[in-house]
Amino acid sequence: MRYADIYKSWQDDPEGFWMEQAKAIDWVVPPTHALNDSRAPLYEWFTDAQVNTCYNAVDRHVENGRGAQNAIIYDSPITDTVRYVTYHDLRDQTAALAGALRDKGVGVGDRVIIYMPMVPEAIVAMLACTRIGAIHSVVFGGFAANELAVRINDATPKAIIAASCGLEPNRVVAYKPLLDGAIAQASHKPDFTIVLQRDQQPCDLTDGFDFDWHAVQDGVTPADCVPVSGDHPAYVLYTSGTTGAPKGVVRPTAGHLVALHWTMKNFYNVNPGEVFWAASDVGWVVGHSYICYAPLIAGNTTVVFEGKPVGTPDAGTFWRVIQDHKVRSFFTAPTAFRAIKREDPKGALIKDYDISSLRALYLAGERADPDTIIWAQDVMQVPVYDHWWQTESGWPMVGNPAGIEALPVKIGSPTVPMPGYDIRILADDGTEMPTGELGSIAIKLPLPPGTLPTLWQAEDRFVKSYLTNFPGFYETGDAGLIDEDGYLYVMARTDDVINVAGHRLSTGAMEEILANHPDVAECAVIGVHDDLKGQLPMGFVCTNKGTARSDAEIVADCVRMVRDSIGPVAAFKLVAVVNRLPKTRSGKILRRTMVSIADGADFKMPATIDDPAILDEIRESLKPLGYGR
């Protein structure tokens, strides 16, 4: 079958399409129907089924003869380690940790926060939770204690599983002080923690509260897989919204299994037993779906890579990993390739490696710029597929369905909608835009299996954020257009979310932090262009009159406050002190105009601007930062 036939078969009979895909999953009680629309416009999938995620990702492969196959290859250039975990090992490790959690009182529906670097134990921890029906929430290691505290308060976990440290190329990141700080700051307190001690920096454990990863598993009876209902949350993953409060995206168990399984062959074009590598982090949705769950559900081998595209030790690392582990399909963010290209513009290092195992490169997480795509194609000599999705969807919404049929690549477009996604371009009044014209990218409800049914403990926010502006549609927050061949082009965000090195961040959250500085009267944060990271946050602050502190001191405070509060991953280093901010006559800050000035792009003078002269002041203030020329 060709892509168009498959997409049409879904359009003609969505229920039948997903029931057919559901056959690939081992159910305890199979679903009798796919969609539950009893609470429309809130939808759920496979609600009457009983199933276990860990069983489908691990145990069934052991039972079906894949026990000796590698489930995980851990490759850590930072520690100079390669370790293999077979499906058999993974089952035993997962069952033991799940047993320890169960014995300490964690059960179905309890939340467990996981704060771990890129080590196989992070995957074991995630699977141990789903094995017993506990709901995990992984927090990215580059976030500061405050962000962890916010998530502890929202998820109210019974337990936290952490490592003693993470490893960045230039430093060891001690996790335990961050963890202790977050617990001290949070109003909710977990019952206990489990800590994986790493040789690079072990930590002190508090008796009776912090339990050693290995000691806590000693002598426990391994836990069996506990069936849960299809709509039971497998996990909650927090992502940036427009305010400082992150959104807890809920991932439903059954839809997640069915949809992710479908993507591995049809989209990423890998067969069971083949090696799939997503160079991301378990703290992001790409890590959840394509380092942990999807490759394991489909019986692939997944690579857990603890390193960076450059500097660990050099820009040839990706090629070495592809060669050594015979990677078939490779997924990363465009920024990683921009980093490699900057270090090794001619791609000279690739000549030292044999990457003939590789079929294709998949890029997502941010806009894939044409230069990067063309460079990657030239250097790697494999097809490069851009694809578009978000934390909320959990799997690709638009891409090139190479496992079904490789469609012609149009550089600048992630290609076409996957089955399940009816994508429309809407004007502000909700009417459809003509072909080729820019508007809000929206998806006709219901969203397909595996996508978010709601936000954790925040149904009203879910409805308000995604379902209200365009009734009957899910609002993606992206703007774009669809061309005459049905190809989507994603152009920009419609909200205050920015994308820094493939990491989704909220400028609103940064403004909330800067506004807390006692000498800051007013502020704005925008996303400006950066050749490496795609975007960087840039702050503008107006200081209070008569402050004793110098502008330079206030700028340094602002940088430190964002780093301490959100974390180093915010990469917040650019701050300009200005006398006033450009506003409309009604007092709205003209952030988009400021972005255009910073990026040196053409813009139309906003008709409602209060005082156009401010724009020259803004331009001048940007020059010392290397922008606005």
Binding site for ligand COA (CB under 6 A): 141-142, 166, 168, 173, 279-281, 284, 286, 308-310, 332-333, 335-336, 339, 365, 501-503, 532, 568-569, 571
Q: List the beta strands (DSSP E) in 29-97.
A: 35-39, 42-45, 50-51, 70-76, 81-86
Using alpha carbons, list the distances in angstroms from residue 332 to 58, 446, 598, 617.
24, 29, 28, 39
CB of 363 to ligand AMP, least distance (A): 7
Torsion of CA 262, 265, 270, 276, to 10 degrees: -20
Q: Considering CB distances under 5 to 8 angstroms, the limit depending on partner class, which of ligand COA, ligand AMP, none binds residue 339?
A: ligand COA
Token duo for residue 69: 């196959």
Q: Closer CB to ligand AMP, residue 410 or residue 619?
A: 410
Q: Considering CB distances under 5 to 8 angstroms, the limit depending on partner class, which of ligand COA, ligand AMP, none binds residue 166?
A: ligand COA
Asked whether 439 and 423 are in contact (CB, 8 A), the reply is no
Count Cβ atoms below 10 Å from residue 178 Cβ, excluding itself: 24
CB of 476 to ligand AMP, least distance (A): 6
Q: Closer CB to ligand COA, residue 133 or residue 450?
A: 450
CB of 328 to ligand COA, least distance (A): 19
CB of 499 to ligand COA, least distance (A): 9
Q: Considering CB distances under 5 to 8 angstroms, the limit depending on partner class, which of ligand COA, ligand AMP, none binds residue 75?
A: none
Q: Considering CB distances under 5 to 8 angstroms, the limit depending on partner class, which of ligand COA, ligand AMP, none binds residue 568?
A: ligand COA
Distance CA 602, CA 142 (A): 35
Backbone phi, psi, residue 206, to 5°: -90, 125
| Biggest CA pair distance of the chain | 74
Radius of gyration of the chain (CA): 24
CB of 564 to ligand COA, least distance (A): 12
Q: Where are the alpha helices (DSSP H) in 132-168?
A: 145-155
Query: ω into residue 334 within 30 of 0, thus cis?
Result: no
Asked whether 193 and 166 are in contact (CB, 8 A), the reply is no
Distance CA 313, CA 51 (A): 43
Q: Closer CB to ligand AMP, residue 186 or residue 479?
A: 479
Q: Considering CB distances under 5 to 8 angstroms, the limit depending on partner class, which of ligand COA, ligand AMP, none binds residue 60?
A: none
CB of 371 to ligand COA, least distance (A): 15
Q: Closer CB to ligand AMP, residue 210 or residue 475?
A: 475
CB of 497 to ligand AMP, least distance (A): 7
Angle (CA) 577-545-574 rounded to 5° is 15
**Contacts with ligand AMP, residue ranges (CB under 6 A):** 239, 285, 364-368, 386-388, 390-391, 414, 476-478, 490, 493, 499, 504
Q: Considering CB distances under 5 to 8 angstroms, the limit depending on partner class, which of ligand COA, ligand AMP, none binds residue 336?
A: ligand COA
Asked whether 622 and 597 are in contact (CB, 8 A), the reply is yes
Q: Considering CB distances under 5 to 8 angstroms, the limit depending on partner class, which of ligand COA, ligand AMP, none binds residue 501?
A: ligand COA
Q: Closer CB to ligand COA, residue 299 or residue 394?
A: 394
Q: Considering CB distances under 5 to 8 angstroms, the limit depending on partner class, which of ligand COA, ligand AMP, none binds residue 310?
A: ligand COA
CB of 332 to ligand COA, least distance (A): 6
Q: Where are the alpha helices (DSSP H) in 434-522?
A: 459-462, 507-514
Q: Considering CB distances under 5 to 8 angstroms, the limit depending on partner class, which of ligand AMP, ligand COA, none binds residue 504?
A: ligand AMP
Q: Considering CB distances under 5 to 8 angstroms, the limit depending on partner class, which of ligand AMP, ligand COA, none binds residue 367?
A: ligand AMP
Q: Considering CB distances under 5 to 8 angstroms, the limit depending on partner class, which of ligand AMP, ligand COA, none binds residue 309?
A: ligand COA
Q: Closer CB to ligand COA, residue 168 or residue 495?
A: 168
Token duo for residue 412: 């600048």
Query: ω into residue 446 within 30 of 0, thus cis?
Result: yes
Angle (CA) 547-549-550 rounded to 5° is 115
CB of 477 to ligand AMP, least distance (A): 6
Q: Closer CB to ligand COA, residue 175 or residue 473?
A: 175
CB of 530 to ligand AMP, least distance (A): 15
Q: Closer CB to ligand COA, residue 283 or residue 449?
A: 283
Q: Closer CB to ligand AMP, residue 493 or residue 563?
A: 493
Q: Closer CB to ligand COA, residue 152 or residue 315?
A: 315
Distance CA 36, CA 46 (A): 7
Asked whether 57 and 296 are in contact (CB, 8 A), the reply is yes
β-pair type (398-399, 384-386): unpaired
Would the CA dihedral through 298, 303, 309, 314 be positive or negative?
Answer: negative
Q: Considering CB distances under 5 to 8 angstroms, the limit depending on partner class, which of ligand AMP, ligand COA, none binds residue 183?
A: none
Q: Closer CB to ligand COA, residue 6 or residue 174?
A: 174
Residues 6+ apart with CB under 8 A from 54: 94, 98, 127, 128, 130, 131, 225
CB of 332 to ligand AMP, least distance (A): 12
At which residue do the structure tokens 């972005």 appear? Answer: 595
Distance CA 464, CA 462 (A): 6
Q: Considering CB distances under 5 to 8 angstroms, the limit depending on partner class, which of ligand COA, ligand AMP, none binds residue 168?
A: ligand COA
CB of 363 to ligand COA, least distance (A): 9
Q: Is 275 helix (H, G, I), strand (E, B) or coil?
A: strand
Q: Which of 98, 45, 117 is nearest to 446 (CA)?
A: 45
CB of 492 to ligand COA, least distance (A): 18
Torsion of CA 147, 532, 417, 232, to 10 degrees: -20
Q: Closer CB to ligand COA, residue 280 or residue 440?
A: 280
Q: Closer CB to ligand COA, residue 28 or residue 556?
A: 556
Q: Closer CB to ligand COA, residue 399 or residue 502?
A: 502
Distance CA 73, CA 488 (A): 35
Determine whether 53 is exposed, middle or buried from the number of CB atoms within 10 Å of its CB (0-12, 13-18, 19+): buried
Q: Considering CB distances under 5 to 8 angstroms, the limit depending on partner class, which of ligand AMP, ligand COA, none binds residue 390?
A: ligand AMP
CB of 284 to ligand COA, least distance (A): 5
Q: Considering CB distances under 5 to 8 angstroms, the limit depending on partner class, which of ligand AMP, ligand COA, none binds residue 415?
A: none
Angle (CA) 258-480-607 rounded to 5° is 145
CB of 249 to ligand AMP, least distance (A): 8
Distance CA 378, CA 445 (A): 40
